[in-house]
Structure 1
Amino acid sequence: MTALAGAASDAFWTTTLRRWNAVCWLLFAVMAVGLAAIDRPGGSKYAALALLGAVVVSYAVLYRFPANPVVRPEVYLSVLVVALGGLAYLRGNYAALFMVTLPHYWLFGRTPRVSMVFLGLATAATLAGSVLRDDGWTVEFFTEVLVSTLLVVAVGALIGLWAHSVVAQSAERARLLAELEETQAELTEAHQRQGAADERERMARDIHDTLAQGFASIIVLAEAARAGLDADPARSAQQLRSIESTARENLAEARELVGSGRRPDQTAAGSVAETLRRTLDRFAEDTGLTVDAELEDLECDQQTRIALLRCTQESLANVRKHARASTVGVVLARQPYGVELEITDDGAGFLVEESSGFGLDGMRKRLAELGGRLTVTSSVGDGTRVLALIPPGAAS
């Protein structure tokens, strides 16, 4: 609304000034025609025509070459001042031209000070021409010319200063609007960059939690199967089947990522306990570790279920790769302060403050998106405890 109001105000003033300018030049044209067709031949007639011609030519040059540094508006205003003085000296009625040229000082004056200077010069030239024509300061001159001229000048100056203030405010408003548009464009670009960065981070986290973990499992299973080919062929066959199953799951998840554009987090709706139990059974089968699970039958929304599943998968992957544990405990329960998932192991442990892996950071960010938090407690030789908490607002 502000921009529309400013544009409407600018358009109004531009139209008004153009109309006044048209009146001025129409009057000049009528005077020139009158001089040429009606006035008697003589020096004063040709002098008046020459003055009018000089004004027209200087204005035409200024209008045609506005960007030329040689053709300055001050030149046109100077010619106009001289012409007004000369016309006031030649003919008394020419002093009326002074009134219709008032807008020109504000149109072509670069600053209010310049406009006021040329307005003063034009006033002085007009009055001087009238004084010289009437042979001095008479009572008639004082009452009819001087007072009326000064009154017109005062009104014109006030209107000009007010109009210049309005134009300056419009220019400032336009500058602020341009800065606002530039800032909005920068914010839009920043949001787009941030959105792209967030999307890259989400994709990296999804790839880490799905494809990367699957490939890590395949590597571990393949190494175990190769090592047990001679000693335990049945166990190796089971591990090969697990490799095949994991590879199929990875292929399906990869297709989801690059094909349909959907996230590979679209787990089936239902009890999160059933989803976690299948994951734990698969982990126990692949690793041979003992898994003690206490999973409360909870109904959670999709995002909560995905977060709990990914935290479980990441924790089990860390146990598989680093912990050298024999037993893993998993507890899922609803507490007054939210849904709580606890995963413990009796492995080698580690120094949490020195951990720089992507997995723990990804779990923290995933939980933070739901208003939850991740707490990791561990020490060397004393196992690890991972506690994920999601507040009630995120779980139904």
Structure 2
Amino acid sequence: MAHGRQEPSDRLSPDRIRLWNAAVWVLFGLLPTAGGVLDRSPARKGWMFGLLALIALGHALTLARPRTRLMNRRAYLGLLALTLGGSSYLLDGGAAFYVVSLPQFWLYTRTPREAVALSGGAAALTVFGGTLGQGWSPQLLTGNTVFTLADYAVGTGLGLWIHRFIGQSNERQERLTAELALTQEELALAHQRQGAAEERERMAREIHDTLAQGLASIVVLAEAARAALTTDPGRSAQQLASIEQTARENLTEARVLVGSVPASGVAAGSVATTLRRTLDRFVQDTGLTVTAELPDIDLDQRTRVALLRCTQESLANVRKHAGASTVGVVLSEVPGGVELEITDDGRGFVVAESRGFGLDGMRRRLAELDGELTVTSSPGDGTRVLATLPTPAQD
């Protein structure tokens, strides 16, 4: 995600904090301390500049390699404590330099106990160096010693508070991360279950619209062929041929459902040709009168399959339930889409009371393509099924 997410370089990372602290330390600690010794004797200036150069080099190496071994960081902090003591001796006090250097004892240690111990040692050396440089006097209790010890106490309290705050924040972050991972797992499982349910529903619809309808046709044709076997052998032969053809089509559909063939089971070609072939089979099997207006409309494969399945389901309902004598099928192109209207003069039914899987399956199939199914019927007035589908813009 490009928005709403901070990259590592934009966060206030530990490395960035150390970098900012280094800048503050140089500007308000190292440089003022170097300037404070300019009016001292050449010997003191030499010692001071040497100490500052040494600690500056150590800090640069530690900053350049913040993930160096703990022993090396402890060595640097020990050198810093000695430098603070030495500068305090050479300047007759170094409380200000200690204050600016104090955060490093928390930035380059791993535990609060270690930070408290090392910063305490640095505070003691700073007090000792100042006392040694000035000599002992009661006034020292209000000068370098008091400020150093006060800075140490405040720094320790603030460091412990920050460490505790960061620890609590890390615990919350870990807890939220664990909760997020659990939520993601549950969401993935829910998506998997939803996908499985949708796939089962799709398979049920495909089986109903193809295999079940074909098997129902085979049963009806077989019963009719057996009844006409002695009275009309020619008719029986014709129905047996229809049974064979339907069985072959069902076999093809079964292979499609189990993935043996990649196509949809509907041969390429115009929708008019596909629907006319279906209607001819229906007339051959049932003997009903069918009128059809099927212009040659160029449609994509998914739309053709949806219209074919709606036609097959509607004709199956006419055969099983309508008791009709005439069926009308009209395919028409409308602005932005296509409509398929199937009517019959059968007995009709109450649409609101219909609980069949077929109509619901047609609605779902059309809805997947942003289409709509409208069924109009009442007892004694026949049935009108209208399938409306949008057509994608042609390039």
If the TM-score is normalised by the length of the shorter chain, which range does it land in? Answer: 0.5 to 0.7
Distance 2:342 2:309 in 1: 12
Match of 2:272 in 1: 273
Amino acid at match of 2:302: Q
Report if the CA contact (8 A) 1:102-1:156 is conserved. Answer: no
Amino acid at match of 2:275: L
Query: Is 1:182 matched with 2:195?
Result: no
Which stretch shows the higher mean deviation, 243-252 or 166-175?
A: 166-175
Distance 2:302 2:308 in 1: 10
Amino acid at match of 1:192: Q
Distance 1:383 1:345 in 2: 5
Deviations 1:51-98 (A, max 9, x none): xxxxxxxxxxxxxxxxxxxxxxxxxxxxxxxxxxxxxxxxxxxxx9xx
Distance 1:192 1:211 in 2: 27
Deviations 1:172-197 (A, max 9, x none): 44443433333333222222222222
Distance 1:19 1:168 in 2: 27
Report if the CA contact (8 A) 1:222-1:243 is conserved. Answer: yes
Match of 2:194 in 1: 194
Distance 1:103 1:209 in 2: 73
Query: Is 1:298 matched with 2:284?
Result: no
Identity %: 57
Which stretch shows the higher mean deviation, 206-215 or 183-192?
A: 183-192
Report if the CA contact (8 A) 1:20-1:100 is conserved. Answer: no
Q: Which runs of 5+ in 2 are unaligned?
A: 19-65, 80-97, 129-136
Match of 1:39 in 2: none
Distance 1:261 1:6 in 2: 52
Tell me: CA distance 1:192–1:261, structure 2 relative to 1, closer, same or farther (3 Å).
farther
RMSD between superposed Cα atoms in Å? 4.2
Match of 1:326 in 2: 325
Match of 1:267, SS?
A: coil
Tell me: CA distance 1:24–1:151, structure 2 relative to 1, closer, same or farther (3 Å).
same
Q: Which runs of 5+ in 1 are unaligned?
A: 28-95, 111-117, 131-136
Query: Is 1:282 matched with 2:281?
Result: yes
Distance 1:337 1:2 in 2: 44
Amino acid at match of 1:150: A
TM superposition shift of 1:144: 4.6
Query: Is 1:155 matched with 2:155?
Result: yes
Written as runs of structure 1 = structure 2, the 5 A alignment for 1:212-227 is: 212-227=212-227
Deviations 1:263-319 (A, max 9, x none): 6x2422221011100000000000010001111111100011000000000000011
Tell me: CA distance 1:324–1:371, structure 2 relative to 1, closer, same or farther (3 Å).
same
Report if the CA contact (8 A) 2:253-2:265 is conserved. Answer: no
Q: How many equivalent residue pairs?
A: 315
Query: Is 1:385 matched with 2:384?
Result: yes
Distance 2:172 2:69 in 1: 20
Amino acid at match of 1:186: E
Distance 1:394 1:231 in 2: 55
Amino acid at match of 1:307: A
Amino acid at match of 1:368: A
Match of 1:230 in 2: 230
Tell me: CA distance 1:173–1:216, structure 2 relative to 1, closer, same or farther (3 Å).
same
Amino acid at match of 2:300: D
Match of 2:365 in 1: 366
Report if the CA contact (8 A) 1:325-1:347 is conserved. Answer: yes
Match of 1:220, SS?
A: helix
Report if the CA contact (8 A) 2:252-2:265 is conserved. Answer: no
Report if the CA contact (8 A) 1:337-1:392 is conserved. Answer: yes
Please report the TM-score for the alignment, with normalisation by the length of structure 2: 0.67
Tell me: CA distance 1:266–1:296, structure 2 relative to 1, closer, same or farther (3 Å).
same
Tell me: CA distance 1:289–1:279, structure 2 relative to 1, closer, same or farther (3 Å).
same
TM superposition shift of 1:261: 5.8
Match of 2:146 in 1: 146
TM superposition shift of 1:393: 3.2
Tell me: CA distance 1:10–1:145, structure 2 relative to 1, closer, same or farther (3 Å).
closer
Match of 1:308, SS?
A: helix
TM superposition shift of 1:373: 0.2
TM superposition shift of 1:244: 0.8
Match of 1:62 in 2: none
Match of 1:262 in 2: 262
Tell me: CA distance 1:3–1:185, structure 2 relative to 1, closer, same or farther (3 Å).
farther
TM superposition shift of 1:203: 1.3
Amino acid at match of 1:213: Q
Distance 2:289 2:14 in 1: 81
Distance 2:71 2:175 in 1: 27
Match of 1:348, SS?
A: coil
Written as runs of structure 1 = structure 2, the 5 A alignment for 1:12-161 is: 22=74, 138-161=138-161
Tell me: CA distance 1:196–1:297, structure 2 relative to 1, closer, same or farther (3 Å).
same
Query: Is 1:203 matched with 2:203?
Result: yes
TM superposition shift of 1:375: 0.4
Which stretch shows the higher mean deviation, 375-384 or 156-165?
A: 156-165
Distance 2:348 2:390 in 1: 28
Which stretch shows the higher mean deviation, 182-191 or 314-323?
A: 182-191
TM superposition shift of 1:355: 1.0
Report if the CA contact (8 A) 1:10-1:167 is conserved. Answer: no
TM superposition shift of 1:335: 1.5
